[in-house]
């Protein structure tokens, strides 16, 4: 199985999106911050932790989200079927 674009495959073969990194991909990082920031309420946007320039807080937010995505696929059963000779996981 191949992962789309710059995504990576986890140890279980699950596609995981690239972790936004302001030093490596600043445009991608800014796009992801804008995407999440658009979903915040006015009260949340007023908090300093959600400021667009608070790169440390946003990096921690993205790391936490990626850890949640990885943990949600751990232990997923392998589908046993005649057409699944590669042992692909059901997710």
Return the higher-pLDDT residue of 22 and 3.
Answer: 22
Query: What's this model's pTM, rounded to 2 decimal places?
Result: 0.70
| Bridge partners (DSSP) listed for residue 16 | 8
The structural domains of the chain, with segments of one domain joined by +, span 8-73
Give the pLDDT confidence of 26-83 residue by residue, as tens digits. 998 999 999 999 999 999 999 999 998 999 999 999 999 888 887 776 666 555 555 6
Cα distance between residue 52 and residue 57, in whole Å? 9
Residues with Cβ < 8 Å from 17, sequence gap 6 or more? 7, 66, 69
Minimal CA–CA distance to 33: which of 18, 55, 16?
Answer: 55
């Amino acid at each position: 199985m191949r992962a789309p674009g710059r995504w990576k495959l986890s140890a279980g073969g699950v596609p995981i999106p690239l972790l936004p990194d302001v030093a490596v991909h600043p445009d991608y990082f800014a796009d992801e911050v804008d995407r999440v920031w658009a979903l915040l309420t006015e009260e949340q946007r007023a908090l300093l932790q959600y400021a667009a320039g608070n790169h440390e807080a946003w990096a921690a937010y993205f790391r936490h989200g990626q850890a949640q995505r990885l943990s949600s696929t751990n232990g997923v059963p392998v589908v046993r079927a005649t057409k699944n000779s590669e042992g692909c996981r059901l997710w």
